[in-house]
Amino acid sequence: MKTPRVWCLAASTTAFCVRFILFGQLANAQNVDSIPLIDSFEAQVQLLSSDKLKQIYFVSPRQVLYKCNEQGKVLFEFSNRYLGNLSKIDATDPFDILLYYPDYQTLLFLDRTLNVTADVRLKAEQFPLPTLVALSRDRQVWIYDAGLNTLNRMDRQGNIKSSSQDLSLLLGRRFSPNQLVCNERGVYLVDPEQGILSFDLFAQFQAFLPTVGIEQLQAFDQYLLFRQQGAYYVGETIGTAQALQGLPSDLLLFTGLPNWIVAWDGTKILRFQK
């Protein structure tokens, strides 16, 4: 094993030394795996997600959420005409699906048949500008608020259970994430122009990885899936990710598991499997 590299970051008058174990550059990934296309079906898609049971979820331009089986057969559908546009489907738990409607700062929770089991309206005094959400492993919710510049863990009664400090204090500059994901290892905020901040499951800062250009970072169990500079990677950490071959570099949306990828190319949903 290579000697871990140490990154030291200054934030105000405090220095943070963060350790990263990196096993080589992504561009020089030693393990390359091929994942061939096996089938496809036509669909108009604005959001795309999947779960660990290989079920597919997508939102149409009319804001209808469809749940399909692995072959693309529609099993259930859901829509809400009153909350505006969906910005997030989190189906990491297929029995407890999270939807976020930012226009009304509303979270909906659905069961496996897409029936609403709970709804939470975020309070403006707690979250003046909530932009990113993700389902926690303990059935709570992670919320990044751009107004406060903090990461927060909230229960379903609207109580804040833990919060990070202002993210700009960690780096000494403004951090502007556009992605929030979590798995059993931690919580990740991605700023594509600066890198990734990782936190433990109590919103405590763990590390900063200055890897830029990360697109559509996703997490399932202990795995991370993402794209960087047109190449796709999957692994337990960013630094140890394995490159995937066989996927077009310009896919508009993609999601999936290490050996099963679902993507949208602008006209069709594509399914890749090895």
pLDDT of residue 28: 42
For 168-210, the pLDDT digits (tens) are: 888 888 999 999 999 888 999 999 999 999 999 999 999 999 9
Average pLDDT, the chain: 87
Residue 33 clears pLDDT 80, i.e. is over it: no
**pLDDT for position 32:** 56
Q: How far is CA 234 from the centre of its chain?
A: 13
Going by pLDDT thresholds of 50, 70 and 90, the confidence category of residue 31 is: low
Banded model confidence at residue 16, pLDDT cuts 50, 70, 90: very low
Reported confidence tier of residue 2, pLDDT bands at 50, 70, 90: very low
3-class DSSP state of 225: strand
Q: What is the pLDDT of residue 166?
A: 93
- In this prediction, residue 9 carries a pLDDT of 36
Q: Which ranges of the chain does DSSP label H, i.e. alpha helix?
A: 167-171
Q: Is the pLDDT assigned to residue 150 strictly greater than 70?
A: yes
Residue 185: closest CA among 110, 240, 109, 146: 240
| CA dist list (Å): 136 to 11, 23, 87, 102, 198 | 28, 28, 17, 18, 14
Q: Is the pLDDT of residue 1 over 70?
A: no
pLDDT digits (tens, 9 = 90+) for 198-209: 999 999 999 999
Average pLDDT over residues 33-45: 92
65 pLDDT exceeds 90? yes
| Global pTM value | 0.86
Side-by-side strand order, sheet with 56-59: 47-50, 56-59, 64-68, 74-79
Tokens 């990934």 sit on residue: 29
pLDDT in tens, 86-129: 999 999 999 999 999 999 999 999 999 999 999 999 999 999 99
Rg for the chain (alpha carbons), in Å? 19
pLDDT value for 273: 93
